[in-house]
Structure 1
């Protein structure tokens, strides 16, 4: 890096989805550290659109590092090809450090990871494989369900080690700005396993709101998404992805958050209380 200090990398960082759930947190943290940061987005000042490869090089030009969050998902068709093309363009434009957000326990996502690793062989790559976000209940797809009193999801009774996005963002920033992460794969989870039913119950206790969890099958969930206007192929992909991820093979916790940050990850109950206190679920 051209501007190395004792605290690590200080050159410009491109965050490819700088207004997303993880991206905006990373942008805020980098800016607070005084690291020059570009928040890429489809309609923002720094234009970056995964569907328009012509937007990639201008956004990357002059950046020394990038936080890469691919839409719709690294397991989606076309993701390996996109990662290969992005990696080549990134290296051509001088990027020397990449941090890739990936899914934990997603075999197809690993294929996309390897595509990026091979294409960007001149850059140091760190992969951050994440469990389900706790904030999916407060900022994501399940927010409307919580507000409506019923969270419908194809998870059955499978337990998941939900990770708090503040912990994830802190790990990403460490990988972007500190030495010792090149080539690493960080698997991020919370400190304990929680079923979706238990998660909804904890949110109910934190908010005083009556809310329940309704497990459904993958095909039922796909039909529900289509009813909300999601195109059939996308609805089917999401339903298959969630049922695959929640078949029990990810029902373990790791110590990677603590290993990277030197502190324990936030518990789901603490997330629910903090989010309720911040007004994530207004009214009753």
Structure 2
């Protein structure tokens, strides 16, 4: 059986679906019991709820499993402690394979969430357990949060591009999930750190061209000022750490870009990863 932590998020659910499609048995670990039924409906054999900061609860989740894919919630200020607790549980349970979901270019130490993920990577490497570290690029699926505005009014609400020179690497979550399931179920991946990137380093012009190609009309980019954007998040209960961390990330990516290389993902998948235009086309078809 394979454990997926942080299983209720879009990444966890995508990996679970891919594992189930391969006939694997999956145990899901989530923070809230109210999410269990939705995961059961996906087909997971077991689902547990608990606090990732509770060593006893995490130990229970790791009991009797073969491998684990560990995802911490996005920009979590406790990610290092959570990672240590998960690794403690993996070591205690003597699992065969621990896969950690990190971030592309975790070496960027001026970004708080990159810094924390690099610290967890160090704990993983030093833990004396069979491991793989996954470093994914930005998910293409992140744009779906503004899909209604994009598809309905032709406005692309974005925060990554403030200059024509900025280029960002994005990866299709479906490709990431397929790669994760291969890594979890096929031999030969322990001890590796993999950068998982899509086939393009996209400029804003590239993305707008892909929208025009699929929507058949011009799309305009729009960026909400930082202060207004932060105020909107605060209204939804997002904390200062998360907001400041995300703003720091946006500013860094705007200034330096966030580029990657497709070779590793191509090798793992045995095919070229999906590009952004094909992702938009697939999304439009699924929403008809």
Q: Scaled by the length of structure 2, what TM-score is found?
A: 0.81
* Aligned residue number for residue 23 of structure 1: 12
Task: Report Cα offsets for 1:128-165 as digits up to 9, x if no partner.
Answer: 11111011112xx4445535634031432321121011
- Tell me: CA distance 1:72–1:50, structure 2 relative to 1, closer, same or farther (3 Å): farther
- 3-state DSSP class of the match of 2:171? coil
Matched, 1:134 2:140: yes
Tell me whether 223-232 or 252-261 shows the greater mean CA deviation: 223-232
CA contact (8 A) 1:159 1:194 kept: yes
Matched, 1:275 2:283: yes
CA distance in 2, matches of 1:247, 1:52: 39
**Deviation for aligned residue 1:15:** 0.6
1:43-122 → structure 2 map (5 Å cutoff): 43=33, 44=36, 45-73=47-75, 76-107=76-107, 108=115, 109-118=117-126, 120-121=127-128
**Deviation for aligned residue 1:14:** 0.2
CA distance in 2, matches of 1:221, 1:155: 15
* Aligned residue number for residue 212 of structure 1: 220
Task: Report Cα offsets for 1:180-212 as digits up to 9, x if no partner.
Answer: 111111111111111245324423542357642
- 3-state DSSP class of the match of 1:213? strand
CA distance in 1, matches of 2:267, 2:171: 15
* Aligned residue number for residue 110 of structure 2: none
- 3-state DSSP class of the match of 1:22? helix
- Tell me: CA distance 1:213–1:54, structure 2 relative to 1, closer, same or farther (3 Å): farther
Matched, 1:259 2:261: no
- 3-state DSSP class of the match of 2:138? coil
**Deviation for aligned residue 1:221:** 4.2
CA RMSD of aligned residues (A): 2.4
CA distance in 2, matches of 1:111, 1:155: 28
CA distance in 2, matches of 1:207, 1:39: 37
- 3-state DSSP class of the match of 1:18? coil
- 3-state DSSP class of the match of 1:77? coil
**Deviation for aligned residue 1:167:** 0.8
Task: Report Cα offsets for 1:2-55 as digits up to 9, x if no partner.
Answer: xxxxxxxxxx10011223212112112222222211122222132244354442
CA distance in 2, matches of 1:145, 1:228: 19
* Aligned residue pair count: 263
CA distance in 2, matches of 1:186, 1:246: 24
